[in-house]
Amino acid sequence: MTDSNFKIKVFNDINNEELKTSWMKLQETTQAFPQMYYEWVEPWVRLRFGNRKLRVVTVTLDETIIAIAPFCIEKKLSVNVLSSIPIHYGDKYEVLVSPDYDYKRIVHFILENIKKEKGFSVVKINQVESESNLFNALKSYDTENAVLINCPLSDFSDLTFDEYFMKLKRNVRSDFRRGKRRIEELGELQFEIHTSEAYYLQHERDFRALYEKRWKDIDEVLPDDDYYNCRRESFLGVLRRNDAIMVVLKIDDKIVGYRLGFLNNKCYYDWKICFDLEFSKYEISSVMTGELIKFLIEKGYNKINYGPGDYSYKRKWCLEAMAMQNHVFFIKKQGIKAKLYINSELKYKDQLKQVVSKLKGNGAKG
């Protein structure tokens, strides 16, 4: 079979029935990451897409869709950019390709056709996980890329909880044990795992209130009602497929910490995590992480991906310096604007952040 047998078909309507049916079929056969589910992407496109223009690129064979690559066109620094979707920070991206076909070949076929299109100068493919099939396909194509951020990783494959626990540093073990003792002095410690839509709906306001209490003095703009409406629809869609869980820590029935995350390929992925600052001295983060690892091992899972952000509270639960990396890839077309935009993303953005950070530091000292 030659590439001439494949055809490109582009959709601009997220609710197109052919696209929806094919997408939901492919996400099952490819065991896609939950943030690539149709149920996850559709609410954000429908409710919070702004001025972006949807452009879902598909590959067909004999009029059957065998691959889906969701994109949108958005304007950045006066440059039209074809950007991968989901569009939110930390949302992992994949191209869905039927397992009956060679993944790299199909991805390259999509990219070759995208490069011929007009209407945008840059292709930006965001949040690509290192060692994924898409990462390998993009690395073997004419792309430029950079590491976006590290995602610390706990790997407890073939270990009991006690075996894994004893491999951690002594201070991590002490924090966990001391935290449990101190919390139990305050009241009854309750660690719970929930998977029902009803539980999320019942406690959505509690989750939001805890988040706003934690970040109100730090974030200038907290998520609004529209954001939570989208989150509700998308997260409940994944819960219905049994590919998400809610992790809750309570003291005397009061929620003092929660995590919302996804299950994929025997790995738990943190998505949203929040703790009550009033209880930070009680090591509730360590207590919840330890109890979560214990639960996952009992259920046959072997990893935790703590999500974007190389923070110490995540790293201390990792053996050695284990981390997955999320990358951004660029494919440039002709033109000085494209070159300048990509350079700004790959080179100047980090330099600008460093300058701003130094200025803030000097301002604080003054």
- Per residue in 287-327, pLDDT (tens digit) is 999 999 999 999 999 999 999 988 888 999 998 878 899 99
Asked whether residue 358 carries a pLDDT value surpassing 70, the answer given is no
Q: Which of 141, 168, 190 is the last residue of a domain?
A: 141
Asked whether residue 365 carries a pLDDT value surpassing 60, the answer given is no
For residue 322, what pLDDT is reported? 81
Range of the domain at 256: 152-324
Q: What is the pLDDT of residues 27-38, one digit of tens each?
A: 999 999 999 999
Q: Which of 141, 169, 203 is the last residue of a domain?
A: 141
End-to-end CA gap in the chain: 68
DSSP state of 346: I
Give domain status of residue 352, yes or no.
no
Domain co-membership, 105 together with 180: no
Tokens 């954000």: give the residue: 44
pLDDT, mean of residues 259-267: 96
For residue 219, what pLDDT is reported? 76
Position 267 confidence tier, pLDDT thresholds 50, 70, 90 = very high
Domain co-membership, 137 together with 156: no
For residue 236, what pLDDT is reported? 97
Task: Domain count for the chain, please give it.
Answer: 2
Domain co-membership, 136 together with 226: no
Domain co-membership, 217 together with 170: yes
For residue 87, what pLDDT is reported? 76
Domain co-membership, 59 together with 118: yes
Asked whether residue 229 carries a pLDDT value surpassing 60, the answer given is yes
Domain co-membership, 67 together with 131: yes
Give domain status of residue 339, yes or no.
no
Give domain status of residue 340, yes or no.
no
CATH number at residue 22: 3.40.630.30
How would you write 217-276 as a 3-class SS string?
CCCCCCCCHHHHHHHHHHHHHHHHCCCEEEEEEEECCEEEEEEEEEEECCEEEEEEEEEC
Domain co-membership, 274 together with 196: yes
Domain co-membership, 159 together with 269: yes
For residue 18, what pLDDT is reported? 98
Please report, rounded to a whole number, the percentage of residues in the chain having pLDDT higher than 90: 74
Domain co-membership, 97 together with 176: no
Asked whether residue 356 carries a pLDDT value surpassing 60, the answer given is no
Q: What is the pLDDT of residues 188-227, one digit of tens each?
A: 999 999 999 999 999 999 999 999 999 988 877 899 999 9
Average pLDDT for the chain: 91
Give domain status of residue 180, yes or no.
yes
Position 228 confidence tier, pLDDT thresholds 50, 70, 90 = very high
Rounded-to-integer distance, Cα 42 and Cα 48, Å: 10
Asked whether residue 363 carries a pLDDT value surpassing 70, the answer given is no
Give domain status of residue 279, yes or no.
yes
pLDDT, mean of residues 132-160: 94
Q: Which of 100, 121, 141 is the last residue of a domain?
A: 141
Give domain status of residue 125, yes or no.
yes
Give domain status of residue 341, yes or no.
no
Give domain status of residue 343, yes or no.
no
Domain co-membership, 180 together with 296: yes
Domain co-membership, 206 together with 260: yes
Domain co-membership, 106 together with 157: no
Closest listed residue to residue 97, CA positions, set 70, 122, 130, 124: 70
Q: Which two tokens stand for residue 103?
A: 């993944």
* Torsion sign across C-alpha atoms 96, 99, 101, 102: positive
